Amino acid sequence: MSDPFDAFEREWHRIVAEKDRAGLERVLAEDVTLGVPPYWQKLHGRPIAVHQVGKLLPASAPPQLLAIALPALG
C-alpha cells in the first residue's frame, strides 16, 4: 500500500514543475489556511490559497512550498 504523503508529495512536485493551477486547486483542502509570512493575517479557504500560491508557480517555486499544502492531507 502506498503512503498517502508520498503520493501527495509526488503530485505536489508535478504541480510545481508543470505550473498546474488546476492541480493546485485539486490538492488543497477546502478549508486550507495560509499563515505565511507570519506577519500576515491568516488567509482561509481554497480560493484565496490557490490565488496566493498560484502566483508563485510561474517562478521557480522552492520545495518549501510543500508546507503550505500539507493541510490538504487532513
Do residues 27 and 53 touch, judged by C-beta distance below 8 A? Answer: no
Do residues 46 and 29 touch, judged by C-beta distance below 8 A? Answer: yes
**pTM for this one?**
0.65
The one-letter code for the residue type at 4 is P
pLDDT in tens, 19-74: 899 999 998 889 998 887 777 888 899 999 899 888 877 765 555 555 554 444 44
